[in-house]
Amino acid sequence: MPNDDAGYPGFLFRSGAVRGTCDDPGLRGCAILGSLKPGSATTFRGRVLAPDATERTLTLIDDALLQLDDSGRFTSVGPAPPECAVEETWPGAVILPGFVDAHVHYPQTRVLGSASGPLLPWLQSTVFPEEARFAEADYALAVAEEFCEALIAQGTTLAAIYSSSHPSATDTLLATLDRRGLRGVTGVTLMDRGAPQNVLREAQEALTANAELHERWHERDGRLQLSVIPRFAISCSAALMRGAAEQAREHALLVQTHISENLDEITATAALFPDSGDYLAVYEDHGLASPRLVLAHCVHLTDDEWQRVANNDIAVAHCPDSNFFLGSGSMPLRRALDLGIRVGLGSDVGAGRTFSMRRVAAAAYDASLVVGEIVGPEELLWLATRGGAQALGQGEALGCLAPGFDADLSVVDVAGGLDKSALLDALTFRHDAGPVRATLVRGQVLKTLAGNVR
């Protein structure tokens, strides 16, 4: 049903929805879609930034009414009618879709900000010793809680997460995501060489463990997914990568890995795989290239590699803050977008220094400027929400504030009276000014550890 009320895009409105005037005094003047009660969890009112489904734009609705069904899906989103009596749900805040972190490492939560880069020495001196600690159940659980708390505190509702190589810690992570009400795409981090023995796991054993976790958790409550995660070529044998590709194909799972982050990494990879023409070819040659592959970093891809990423509809996780912290370089974001590649933003904690996808968006702005491109706040906030959902293959249900989509929200305090441009700037660049007030998955506010609703 094309909307002619206020010039907003038609997709914001449920087609065929019956709209009318409510007899309930509390809802007088409001559109009616099912039985709604003022202040109930199924109706929100406030200032909304709604991503377009395909264009990298956001529509600002200054006073919107968002209506949800019992399963936490939007039934209608649009301007509140005149004289609508529903109270503003979060006064002074702006409502966006939940942020999507397209690349983050759970077992690096406690080494965030450890300045021992660049990449390869940092992995050896900081990351691998820390990840070894996840053999211990109590440690894995404590950090899983901290990790989920950090996601909720920053308004992130979905994350593509590298676990450690330990099946038990990965099971703990999944259980914690489940209990905290978050969405996650995760699996054991597969590595059978190129690191200390205490973080390696033999290929078949690791894949079997991941398959067992898949049996147990995949599609749990529609929020959790198992993923296949060969860490990067340096830490994976050919047999492990082939087995990973096979498991991903069999169950249609998301595959995550790193590529072309650092020049020494690229040199080492070429030495290990002399028969592959370039870094991307290593993954292609072992069956890993497909639209279900998400490549993190892509800082130093060649023209030909970029073209193959586009041709094969491979997704990219852009991790600009991490790239700054490890001195890796700047990914040419505009170029990737111009090639039509699906791009999400990744915090890449713990090489990234923040769980805030708004800070990551700000870093992406800086990183693009460094390579002579401008990618502004509107596009970046789109990438941090809708773009991430698409990159992770969840664009059907997530990333839009529109009928039929799941009501995953981040609600951010922001100064009043700003026009759209100033609002986008404030959300992206003024981090001190506006904390996340609430984080919701399917219309449910996620609790912080203290049990408080933010």
Chain residues that interact with ligand GUN, rule: CB under 6 A:
105, 119, 123, 127, 231-232, 258, 261, 322, 348, 351
Burial 113-152 (b: 16+ CB within 10 A, else e): ebeebbbbebbeebbbebbbbbeeeebbbebbeebbbbbb
- For Fe ion, give the closer residue by CB, 131 or 348: 348
Q: How far is the CB of 347 from ligand GUN (least distance, A)?
A: 11
359 binds, among ligand GUN, Fe ion, none (CB under 5 to 8 A by kind): none
231 binds, among ligand GUN, Fe ion, none (CB under 5 to 8 A by kind): ligand GUN
Q: How far is the CB of 377 from Fe ion (least distance, A)?
A: 24
Q: Which residue is nearest to Fe ion (CB)?
A: 348
User: What are all long-range contacts of 79-83, with beta carbons under 8 Å and residues at least 24 apart?
Assistant: 79/5, 79/6, 79/8, 80/30, 80/45, 81/29, 81/30, 81/31, 82/29, 83/28, 83/29
Q: How far is the CB of 182 from ligand GUN (least distance, A)?
A: 21
192 binds, among Fe ion, ligand GUN, none (CB under 5 to 8 A by kind): none
Whole-angstrom distance, CA of residue 5 vs CA of residue 2: 9
Type of residue at 135: A
SS (H, E, C) 210-239: HHHHHHHHCCHHHCEEEEEEECCHHHCCHH
- For ligand GUN, give the closer residue by CB, 105 or 442: 105
173 binds, among ligand GUN, Fe ion, none (CB under 5 to 8 A by kind): none
- For ligand GUN, give the closer residue by CB, 293 or 436: 293
Q: At what angle do helices 167-180 and 203-217 cross, to 10 degrees?
A: 20
Binding segment for Fe ion among 128-136, 340-348, 404-412, 445-453 (CB under 5 A)? Answer: 340-348
Could you give the C-alpha distances from 383 to 318, 362, 400, in angstroms and in order?
10, 12, 12
- For ligand GUN, give the closer residue by CB, 66 or 259: 259
SS3 for 380?
helix
* Torsion angle, alpha carbons of 233, 237, 243, 247, to 10: -30
Closest CA to 158 of 114, 87, 236, 222: 222
- For Fe ion, give the closer residue by CB, 174 or 326: 326
Q: How far is the CB of 306 from Fe ion (least distance, A)?
A: 20
210 binds, among Fe ion, ligand GUN, none (CB under 5 to 8 A by kind): none
Q: How far is the CB of 151 from ligand GUN (least distance, A)?
A: 18
Do the Cβ atoms of 317 and 259 come closer than 8 Å?
no
How many residues appear in the chain?
454
Could you give the C-alpha distances from 376 to 51, 102, 213, 334, 381, in angstroms and in order?
14, 19, 40, 10, 9
- For Fe ion, give the closer residue by CB, 190 or 401: 190
- For Fe ion, give the closer residue by CB, 160 or 424: 160
Q: Residues binding Fe ion: what is the number (CB under 5 A)?
A: 1
232 binds, among Fe ion, ligand GUN, none (CB under 5 to 8 A by kind): ligand GUN
Burial 194-230 (b: 16+ CB within 10 A, else e): bbeeebbbebeebbebbbebbeebbeeeebbbbbbbb
Whole-angstrom distance, CA of residue 383 vs CA of residue 57: 10
Q: How far is the CB of 174 from Fe ion (least distance, A)?
A: 19
255 binds, among ligand GUN, Fe ion, none (CB under 5 to 8 A by kind): none
Burial 408-440 (b: 16+ CB within 10 A, else e): bbbbbbbeeebeeeebbebbbeeeeebebbbbb
| 261 contacts Fe ion (rule: CB under 5 A) | no
Residue ranges in 346-405 that form contacts with Fe ion under rule CB under 5 A: 348
- For Fe ion, give the closer residue by CB, 232 or 365: 232
- For Fe ion, give the closer residue by CB, 256 or 428: 256
Q: How far is the CB of 103 from Fe ion (least distance, A)?
A: 6
410 binds, among Fe ion, ligand GUN, none (CB under 5 to 8 A by kind): none
Q: How far is the CB of 161 from ligand GUN (least distance, A)?
A: 12
261 binds, among ligand GUN, Fe ion, none (CB under 5 to 8 A by kind): ligand GUN
Q: How far is the CB of 372 from ligand GUN (least distance, A)?
A: 24
Q: How far is the CB of 109 from Fe ion (least distance, A)?
A: 13
List interacting residues with Fe ion (CB under 5 A). Answer: 348
